[in-house]
Amino acid sequence: MPFIYYIMKTLFACLVFLLYSVVALWAYYNCNWCYTTNQETSETVYFDKATDSFIPPTGKFSNKLIVLNHASDTILTYPAGIKIIPHTDSIVLPLAFNTVVKDLKAYLKKNPATTIQIASNSAAAESTKDSILKNKRGMRLKKYFVENQINDKRIFITTNPLNQNQLLDIRLVKMDTARLKVYENSIRTKILYSKFRAHNFKPDTALIAYTKELLIYLKKYSTKSITVIGHTDAAGNNEDNVWFGKQRAKNVRNYLISQGVPEEKIIIQSKGETNPIVPNDTEANRAKNRRIEIIIN
């Protein structure tokens, strides 16, 4: 009996270790940018998995966030703002920063021909060799907005803030003709990668964000129709893959309808494995071929 107890105890310990390892590996390889909460400062802190180190909570430049409109009028101010780590491209966002995202989304919905311009600067205490950090800090903030369902084609970076004392500020600028064309093209043709399978379909951030933009687009172009095309990799036979592609397209169609897109505007198709964008010779390539293509006609 003692021997059996020892064996069972050892097996249990091994199972716990394996479970912990799987969770740790998933977190490491599936999160390019992760968040952690600094309990002392109640802030959300970006850290880079490449360095595997957290941003320290000390030695930061404070930056009250100001949002300006196209006429350079201040329309939103967030005293908590953003904190910047000197001589690095790292930024620290307060936990309440989701309010900024919510307000920006509301503004963009009411003003669809508007883009977000992130203006980034370096501090006087930083050396000239740190000037490259200006753009990188802006890119950090852009990535945060994109992760929170703001179309990346509506965000661009400049290194010339209107207020030179500001390290980061945001301007909501009317799109010019060229930028509006780029933005609308990003709506007219869209490739989505997600788990579109029938039994566990769940809209991801990319599909949710795209659907919101699509609804705005259709208000402007009310006569347009939508084609949703399902694509697969080359695993299995072609007949099955055509079926899988169609089921995935149906899932997306049903989600679009549930969000307010008129059913009669949507056509679904499946091209199965017949239209790969890369060779089906590696798992990474096969994942690229398993996709949904949305075309606005």
Asked if residue 40 and residue 169 are part of one domain, the reply reads yes
Same domain, 185 and 100: no
Which of 159, 175, 191 delimits the end of a domain?
175
- Integer angstrom CA distances of residue 133 from 61, 118, 260: 14, 14, 42
Does residue 267 have a pLDDT over 50?
yes
Q: What is the pTM of this model?
A: 0.65
196 and 128, same domain (yes or no): no
For residue 30, what pLDDT is reported?
47
Q: pLDDT tens-digit profile of 57-77?
A: 445 666 677 788 777 788 777
| Residue pLDDT, tens place only, 253-263 | 999 999 999 99
Same domain? For 60 and 136 the reply is yes
Confidence of residue 233 (pLDDT cuts 50, 70, 90): very high
Please tell me whether residues 90 and 194 are part of one structural domain: no
pLDDT at 153 over 90: no
Least confident of 96-105, 231-240, 262-271: 96-105
User: 197 pLDDT band (50/70/90 cuts)?
Assistant: low
User: What's the pLDDT at 158?
Assistant: 83
Residue 227 pLDDT = 97
Sequence-distant (≥ 6) Cβ neighbours of residue 277 within 8 angstroms:
288, 289, 291
Per-residue tokens: 222: 């009310």
pLDDT at residue 274 above 90? yes
Q: Which residues 6+ apart lie within 8 Å of 226 measured at CB? A: 214, 256, 261, 265, 266, 267, 294, 295, 296, 297
For residue 133, what pLDDT is reported? Answer: 76
Higher pLDDT, 20 or 67: 67
Same domain, yes or no: 84 and 141: yes
Residue 112 belongs to domain spanning? 35-175
User: Is 31 a residue whose pLDDT tops 50?
Assistant: no
Q: Which of 147, 175, 203 is the last residue of a domain?
A: 175
**Among 134, 160, 175, where does a domain finish?**
175
Residues 70 and 189 grouped into a single domain: no
Q: What is the CATH number of the domain that holds 115?
A: 3.30.1330
Q: According to the model, what pLDDT value does residue 56 have?
A: 42
State the pLDDT at residue 25. 52
3-state secondary structure of 113: coil
| Cα distance between residue 172 and residue 75, in whole Å | 9
Question: Are 171 and 187 members of one domain?
Answer: no
Please tell me whether residues 93 and 208 are part of one structural domain: no
Say whether both 208 and 161 belong to one domain: no
CB under 8 A, 24+ apart: contacts of 83-86: 83/43, 84/60, 84/123, 84/137, 84/167, 84/168, 85/55, 85/56, 85/59, 85/60, 86/59, 86/60, 86/61, 86/123, 86/125, 86/126
Is 80 exceeded by the pLDDT of residue 199?
Answer: no
Q: Are residues 217 and 290 both part of a single domain?
A: yes
Which pLDDT value is given to residue 129? 63
Instruction: Assess contact for 247 and 206: CB atoms under 8 A.
Output: no
Together in a domain, 229 and 201: yes
What is residue 41's predicted lDDT score, i.e. its pLDDT? 37
- What total number of domains does the chain contain? 3
Taking all residues of the chain, what is their mean pLDDT, rounded to a whole number? Answer: 78
Given a cut of 90, whether residue 168 has pLDDT beyond it is no
- 212 pLDDT more than 80: yes
